[in-house]
């Protein structure tokens, strides 16, 4: 059984990468200023959801030999969280990202 703390961990926590200011959080998730901040800083208007690690067999990309990789599947509003990915690339240029947009199938 996982601990409560382990259950709360998210492998792609946008708020951990670019925290939403308290004054924006206080407005609520549907306030126009909140949506504008999220779009400007994350490139999507809500946190990514249903984040899960996927196996090498499921992953559309692959890493070069000797390099570590992590493949994630998630659902995002609007599009990918492209602005936060651009900020992470700038902050940590040694990281490489590969995105594949897949249709949402229910």
Question: Could you report the per-residue pLDDT of 70-90, keeping only the tens digit for each?
Answer: 888 888 887 889 999 899 889
- The better pLDDT of the pair 7, 95 is held by 95
**Structure token digits, residue 31:** 């306030």
- pTM surpassing 0.85? no
Which candidate, 82, 78, 62, 64, places its Cα nearest to that of 18? Answer: 82
Query: In this predicted model, what pLDDT tens digit does every residue of 11-60 receive, in sequence order?
Result: 888 888 899 999 999 999 999 999 999 999 999 998 888 888 887 655 55
95 pLDDT higher than 90: no
Quick one: angle between helices 32-42 and 82-91, nearest 10?
Answer: 40
3-state SS assignment for residue 102: coil
């Amino acid at each position: 059984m996982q601990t409560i703390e382990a259950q709360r961990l998210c492998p792609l926590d946008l708020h951990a990468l670019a925290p939403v200011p308290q004054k924006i959080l206080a407005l609520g998730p549907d306030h126009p200023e909140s949506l504008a901040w999220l779009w400007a800083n994350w490139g999507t208007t809500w946190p990514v959801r249903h984040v899960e690690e996927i196996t090498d067999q499921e992953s559309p990309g692959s890493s070069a030999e000797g390099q570590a990789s992590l493949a994630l599947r998630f659902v995002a509003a609007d599009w990918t969280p492209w602005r936060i990915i651009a900020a992470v690339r700038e902050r940590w240029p040694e990281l490489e990202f590969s995105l594949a947009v897949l249709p949402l199938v229910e």
